[in-house]
Amino acid sequence: MKLGRPGFILSLLVEICVIAGIVIYGTFYHDNYSNEGGLVQTIQSAGIIPLEVSQEILDKEETDDKKGGTYAVVPSFRTSTYRVRNGDNLWNIARRNNLDFYTLLSVNHLEKANKLSIGQKVKIPNQRGILRTLQKGETIEDMALMYDVSIRKIIRVNRILDPYSIEPGTELFIPGAKVTLAQGREILKQSGIPAEFCWPVNRCRITSRYGYRRDPFTRRRAFHSGVDLAPGYGARVSAAMNGIVTFAGWMGGYGKLVVIRHAGGYSTRYGHLSRISSRIRKGRSVSQGQQIGNVGNTGRSTGAHLHFEIRKNGRTLNPLNHIN
């Protein structure tokens, strides 16, 4: 076919675009995989594997599969071993490895997860999820429904060849399992971690409840983000649940405040303290019932009391609904 000058230039342009497209596509396509491989390698050599199946890869893999391609990119479940060092606890080990606290708990079957000893071995899985033993009468489909995960993902991550041949007692890793409150409590219980909040002070008067009230300073309607407990000046204040201290010091109207982070996105706050116990510092782990300070009247307070908050993912909850 004979092309005029403009026609020739046009076809040349089209060709350049096609080649450029292939090059760009090839580069990105290739990078996706080589980078992942590189990440695994470097981190493995450092002894910690924080590799997580990114949603992007899973989505890509789903589309690849629809096109009839391979799905070798989904990492099968595996663990590496980490030896506990001074200052470690399951929370900070989980965070360093970009894992969920429940993931570490379920994989490790610890009897006393809140008491790790130095040198103790902890299994670090290569992705988030829950390791669970299949009970009698349960199927992979049940697991998929219980934890809101696709059956295909469970099959792939566990490299199951015949889903119908899975026997009760088999350990299955449920990748990206969405853990309900009840399931979370069960995992905590199995790991020897108290799953219920307890009162931070001994039985006493509740002088102000959670919710809207008349502000004692401005006399205006204002939201009270916790409960006020008045066991008397200097009374012992203890941690309502196991966790990690994320703040210990002075914070505005709270006065002397301790903030503790717990599993499952929960945190508790203890305000207006007269004194913070010396062991209570940022990053330290505390166990339920351990003393964290004493009741006081610091900050924006009208008398000796403890201002106690329970939060989930930063939002305050009514503590009375979360303590027995």
311 near Zn ion (CB under 5 A): no
- The nearest distance, CB 243 to Zn ion, in angstroms, is 21
When the beta carbons of 169 and 314 are compared against Zn ion, the nearer one is 314
Nearer to Zn ion, 236 or 300 (CB): 300
Comparing CB distances to Zn ion, the nearer of 234 and 253 is: 253
Residue 272 found at the interface with Zn ion (CB under 5 A): no
Query: How does DSSP assign 264-296, residue by residue?
Result: GGEEEEEEEESEE-TT--TT-EE-TT-EEEE-B
Q: How many residues bind Zn ion (CB under 5 A)?
A: 2
Stretches 20-28, 49-57, 110-118, 304-312: which one binds Zn ion (CB under 5 A)?
304-312
Least Å distance, CB 277 to Zn ion, is 21
Q: Closest distance between Zn ion and the C-beta of residue 221, in Å? A: 15
> Binding marks (x or -) toward Zn ion, 201..230, rule CB under 5 A?
---------------------------x--
What the block records as the tokens of 176 is 């990206």
Q: Within 13 Å of residue 218, how many CA atoms lie on the same side as its CB?
A: 6
CB of 171 to Zn ion, least distance (A): 46
Shortest distance, position 284 Cβ to Zn ion, whole Å: 25
Q: Evaluate whether 305 touches 229 at the Cβ level (below 8 Å).
A: yes
Residue closer to Zn ion by CB (options 141, 215) is 215
The CA-to-CA distance between both ends of the chain, in Å, stands at 86
DSSP 244-261: EEEEEEEEGGGEEEEEEE
Which range binds Zn ion by CB under 5 A, 78-86, 89-97, 161-169, 306-314? 306-314
Q: Binding of Zn ion at residue 269 (CB under 5 A)?
A: no
C-beta of 101 vs 308, nearer to Zn ion: 308
What is the distance between the alpha carbons of residues 185 and 194, in angstroms, rounded to a whole number?
A: 8
Minimum distance, C-beta of residue 182 to Zn ion, in the bound complex (Å): 30
Distances (CA, A) of 89 to 85, 96, 100, 117: 9, 11, 13, 9
User: Other C-beta atoms within 10 Å of 87: how many?
Assistant: 10
The DSSP-derived string for 34-88 is HHHHHHHHHHHHHT-------HHHHHHHHHHHHTT---TTSPPP-EEEEE--TT-
Q: How many CB atoms lie within 10 A of CB 82?
A: 19
- In angstroms, what is the minimal distance from the CB of 228 to Zn ion? 4
**Contact (Cβ atoms closer than 8 angstroms) between residue 211 and residue 223:** yes
Kindly identify the residues of this chain, within the stretch 40-99, that bind Zn ion according to CB under 5 A. none
Alpha-carbon span 310 to 317, nearest angstrom: 6
Which of positions 157-186 make contact with Zn ion (CB under 5 A)? none
Backbone angles phi, psi at 154, to 5 degrees: -60, -45
Shortest Å distance, C-beta 226 to Zn ion = 5
Give the phi and the psi of residue 317 in degrees, each rounded to 5.
Answer: -120, 165
According to the binding rule CB under 5 A, does residue 309 interact with Zn ion? no
Among 128, 132, 307, 311, binds Zn ion (CB under 5 A): 307
Residue nearest to Zn ion (CB): 307
Please identify, using beta-carbon distances, which residue of 82 and 270 lies nearer to Zn ion: 270
Using CB under 5 A, list all residues that contact Zn ion. Answer: 228, 307
